[in-house]
Structure 1
Amino acid sequence: MNGKPEECCEEVRREHLVRIYHYLDGEVTQTEITEIETHLRHCSACGFEYEVESMLKELVRRCCLGDAPAPEGLRERIRSRILVSVEDPQGSPRR
């Protein structure tokens, strides 16, 4: 990720967006943080994507702050899907 705005063709922007997601989730190293922040200051397209994703993440966080319990059986459905994906990582997604 460098600071050249012209580098932001569609494919590269998708790669940058994945890094932005990781950045927002706190899943990057200090070196990556510096690189991403530098890029965001120089690339308006990625800066816009960052702002949108950041606002969306905050909105979801605020909406999920309530004390309402999770739906009945949700925990078990999640565990089942995790087990299926671990046991059959090459299989097709199940719904």
Structure 2
Amino acid sequence: MSCGNHHETPCDDVLDHLYEYLDNEMGEGDCAKLRQHLDECSPCLDMYGLEAAIKALVKRSCCDTAPADLRGKVLARIDRIRAGLPVEGDVLAEPAPAATE
């Protein structure tokens, strides 16, 4: 998407990183560039508003928390991955040696 006007940061770049901005996952320099673009570009500002509204709606609608046993399994899996240990179902894990008869 492009609004047809020249901006220091192109519209496509802004829209590609919109969720990083919404989730506060951008560095301050990138945030400043994105904010400046939104101040200058009403189509991108409209898209930002739409995405922010969708994100808020999803947050309101998803109020359930994961069951404790599922949470424990996920955290254990993360710990194994961080430790460099094989994880069941891991497609990147070394294949088990073939059984010899």
Q: State the TM-score bracket (shorter-chain normalisation).
A: 0.5 to 0.7
Change over 3 Å in CA distance of 1:55–1:83 after alignment to 2: farther
Residue in structure 2 matched with residue 6 of structure 1 by the alignment: 5
Residue in structure 1 matched with residue 36 of structure 2 by the alignment: 38
Higher relative contact order (CA 8 A, sep 6+): 1
Query: What's the TM-score once normalised by structure 1's chain length?
Result: 0.59
Aligned pair count? 75
Instruction: Give the Cα separation in 2 of the matches to 1:22 and 1:46.
Output: 15
| 1:5–1:42 Cα contact (<8 Å) kept | no
Q: Deviations for 1:31-86, whole angstroms, at most 9, x for unmatched residues?
A: 111111111010011101100000000000000124585xx9xx7xxx99x944xx
Segments of structure 2 that go 5 or more residues without pairing to the other structure are 79-86, 93-101
Query: What's the TM-score once normalised by structure 2's chain length?
Result: 0.56
Give matches, 1:1-95, under 5 Å.
6-7=5-6, 12-66=10-64, 83-84=90-91, 87=92
Change over 3 Å in CA distance of 1:13–1:60 after alignment to 2: same
Amino acid at match of 2:55: K
Instruction: Give the Cα separation in 1 of the matches to 2:4 and 2:38.
Output: 9
| 1:5–1:44 Cα contact (<8 Å) kept | no
- CA-CA distance at 1:7 after TM superposition: 3.5
Instruction: Give the Cα separation in 1 of the matches to 2:11 and 2:90.
Output: 33
Instruction: Give the Cα separation in 2 of the matches to 1:50 and 1:31.
Output: 18
- The Cα RMSD (Å) is 3.4
